Amino acid sequence: MKPPGLNSAARRRGGMLLIECLVYMSVFTIVLCAGMGAFYVVWGNSDVVRSTADDISCALRAGEQWRADIRGVTGKIEEKQSPDGPVLQIPHGRDRILYRFSGGAIWRKTASASSWVPVLSRVKSSEMKMENRNQIQTWRWEVELLPRTLKARTRPLFTFEAVSPAKS
């Protein structure tokens, strides 16, 4: 005599459903963990991209300010030595605009001001030099920023050029 209730085939079928449910849950957990890991990698990389874009825009603003200072020169541009390193002196009317690279930053001030103002930070190297091209005096500023990560694929290197007026 058979006991009342489910037969043996129905019991096996119910057991298989429970095992399948556990397998599906395990696969779902693995996929979810992999997706979360990928999400956090992308999130970290987007932070690096955002901060690198901020560095690039700061470098471009500093370069445009430097170019405007060179284009507005009213005398001879000189490079002098100071205890902090070379200082580029750009005459503007009765005043002078000074640029220097020290402490991993580009600093700017007018001769009449009392303190230096940081124009660009996170700088690895900087060089401002004069070049004569077919009797035209040009200035070149090469600045390299520190990369945001050790695995950076590009060097944040910028070159700005400006032509000083013929009267200088």
pTM score: 0.75
134 lies in some domain: yes
pLDDT number for residue 167: 55
Summarised one tens digit per residue, pLDDT across range 101-135 is: 998 999 999 988 889 999 999 999 999 999 888 88
25 inside domain? no
Q: Is 67 part of any domain?
A: yes
- In-domain check, residue 46: yes
65 located within any domain? yes
Cα–Cα distance, 105 to 113 (Å, whole number)? 19
SS3 for 135-168, per residue?
CEEEEEEEEEECCCCCCCCCCCEEEEEEECCCCC
- Answer yes or no: is 69 within a domain: yes
Q: Which domain range does residue 159 map to?
A: 36-74+121-163
Whole-angstrom Cα distance, residue 166 to residue 138? 10
What is the count of structural domains for the chain?
Answer: 1
Q: 162, 159, 153, 130: which is closest to 59 by C-alpha?
A: 159
H or E element that contains 131? strand 123-133
Residue 13: pLDDT over 60: no
Task: Give the span between the Cα atoms of 125 and 157, in whole angstroms.
Answer: 9
* Of residues 139 and 136, more confidently modeled: 139
Residue 102 lies in a domain: no
Q: How confident is the model at residue 60 (pLDDT cuts 50, 70, 90)?
A: very high
